Amino acid sequence: MSQWWAGIDWSWGLQDFVVIDRDGASVLHLRVEESPEGVTQILNALRGLNPTSHRFSRRQVPIAIEDGNRLVVTELRRHRQPVIVIPPAVTARYRGRHTAAVSKSDRGDAELLADIIRQNPARRRPLPETSDHAQAIAVLARAQDVSADTARRAMIRLRSHLGMYFPAAADAWSGMQHGLRRAEARAVLALAPTPRQAAALTKRVLYDTLAAAGRTRLLDQEAARLRALFTAPQLRQQPKTEAAMGERTRLHLAELDAACRQAELMATQTDTAFSSHPHYAIYRSFPACGPRLSARLFAEIGDDPARFPTAKGLRAYAGTAPITWSSGRSHAVVHRSVCNRALKRAAHQWAFASLTRSHGCRALYDARREHGDGYAAALRHVSNRLLSGLHHCLRTGQLFDEAEMFRT
């Protein structure tokens, strides 16, 4: 068992580093910069805690910090120093535990972080030993998720603007996948951003525009559909107002084009990086686990085999495992809200998409609905089964086998 515990209160500029002993008393305090010299000062201070014992190592002293993405954490882990991340919400709950008059200081926060892991050594685990390859994939997958969300927001702004003067364009691709984010939709709107310009387009021009945007199927039917939609009678703004609103549409289109291109680029880079990882084949073997969704799942799970010893821990981390509230005669089972939100969203999308690609997932979903579960609760059961199967395959190195996974 460790004799000392340390805490770092990170801030822009100087970091407060504090070491406490078994009684919770502060034995060391440093203010260091987030630099190689600052990390060297921290490591040297840890080495000097017990210089007379040859059995002592600085790696026996865990360091607590609230943000695990800082450069100082990366450098400490490169030197194999154990680092434990404490969520800020946990720190806030502990702040008023010992004194009624709650105060805050950088040194006091560092001492508080160290005291949290001193009082609960078994409940606080160091950061997972994720490989550099997995961390790079996680950065790319999260960037792709952000860029895709940016494209969705840009599409919503464009659709809202079109609804004020060009409702036919706002509804032209509403029933299709990706809607206004489709390349053909952006190409047509760039050619004719106003109702008057769109009504002047011929079927041949629409045909050529759709073909240039990459559409290969049903070109004649799609060109005729758009032609009929744009020439149908509709309400219009005044000519000059309409022209001005068309220029604003070009601005929204430029924003949407940039976001869509960035999302596609990040998706390609993410799949290229993930395809060379040993876990790639396992993730892709599962139903409805495409390149983007598998990368998002992997980004939050990582490749540390010791991170989730049991499937129950993985399900709890994803927020699909239920929580039981029991007190006296009251007993309730509710869904989990404290979890990895990104992993929870990915697991929900995975479960929903698997309903049409896996007979076992569909049968489980239907059985839960017949049992009385709602839509979200039934999907959580499917997510639990998929995450349990994924955990088993990652532990054993096997690929997905539906007959084995849904034997009952």
Residue 258 has pLDDT above 60, yes or no: yes
Q: Look up residue 177 and give its DSSP letter.
A: T
DSSP string, 90-121: HHHHHHTSS-SS----HHHHHHHHHHHHHH-T
Task: Say whether both 264 and 322 belong to one domain.
Answer: no
Q: Which of 99, 127, 155 is the last residue of a domain?
A: 127
Cβ-based burial of 124 (10 A; exposed 0-12, middle 13-18, buried ≥19): middle
Give the model's pLDDT for residue 354. Answer: 95
Give the model's pLDDT for residue 100. Answer: 65
Q: How far apart are CA 164 and CA 158, in angstroms?
A: 10
Task: Say whether both 162 and 234 belong to one domain.
Answer: yes
Token pair recorded at residue 259: 């976001």
Give the model's pLDDT for residue 164. Answer: 94
Select the highest-mean-pLDDT range: 97-111, 319-333, 387-401: 387-401
What b-and-e string marks burial along 187-217, b requiring 16 or more CB atoms within 10 Å of the CB? bbbeebbbbebbbebeeeebbebbeeeebee
Residue 52 has pLDDT above 80, yes or no: no
Task: Say whether both 308 and 388 belong to one domain.
Answer: yes
Give the model's pLDDT for residue 407. Answer: 80
Task: Say whether both 305 and 383 belong to one domain.
Answer: yes
Task: Say whether both 285 and 384 belong to one domain.
Answer: yes
Q: Which of 241, 273, 305 is the last residue of a domain?
A: 273
Q: Which of 72, 102, 127 is the last residue of a domain?
A: 127
Listed residue (309, 312, 275) closest to 291, CA to CA: 275
Residue 395 has pLDDT above 90, yes or no: yes
Task: Tell me the backbone φ, ψ of residue 288, rounded to 5 degrees.
Answer: 65, 15
The enclosing domain of 75 has a CATH number of 3.30.420.40
Task: Say whether both 269 and 143 belong to one domain.
Answer: yes
Task: Say whether both 213 and 191 belong to one domain.
Answer: yes
Range of the domain at 196: 136-273
Q: How confident is the model at residue 398 (pLDDT cuts 50, 70, 90)?
A: very high
Q: How confident is the model at residue 186 (pLDDT cuts 50, 70, 90)?
A: very high
pLDDT for 3-30, tens place per residue? 899 999 988 878 899 999 888 889 999 9
Give the model's pLDDT for residue 119. Answer: 87
Residue 1 has pLDDT above 60, yes or no: no
Mean pLDDT computed over 268-273: 95
Residue 405 has pLDDT above 60, yes or no: yes
Q: How far apart are CA 368 and CA 326, in angstroms?
A: 23
Task: Say whether both 140 and 269 belong to one domain.
Answer: yes
Task: Say whether both 20 and 65 belong to one domain.
Answer: yes
- Specify the pTM: 0.84
CB count within 10 Å of CB 371 equals: 10
Q: How confident is the model at residue 323 (pLDDT cuts 50, 70, 90)?
A: confident
Residue 124 has pLDDT above 60, yes or no: yes
Give the model's pLDDT for residue 149. Answer: 94
Task: Say whether both 109 and 168 belong to one domain.
Answer: no
Give the model's pLDDT for residue 98. Answer: 64
Q: What are the residues whose beta carbons fall under 8 Å from the beta carbon of 8, sequence distance 6 or more?
A: 15, 16, 17, 18, 42, 63, 64, 65, 72, 110, 113
Give the model's pLDDT for residue 101. Answer: 62
Q: How confident is the model at residue 95 (pLDDT cuts 50, 70, 90)?
A: confident
Task: Say whether both 296 and 347 belong to one domain.
Answer: yes
Task: Say whether both 167 and 53 belong to one domain.
Answer: no
Q: How far apart are CA 124 and CA 119, in angstroms?
A: 10
pLDDT for 333-366, tens place per residue? 777 878 889 999 999 999 999 999 999 999 999 9
Q: At what angle do helices 239-275 and 132-162 cross, to 10 degrees?
A: 160
Provide the number of structural domains found in the chain.
3
Listed residue (69, 66, 13) closest to 38, CA to CA: 13
Alpha helices in 167-320 (DSSP H): 167-172, 183-191, 195-199, 203-212, 219-231, 239-275, 280-284, 291-301, 311-318
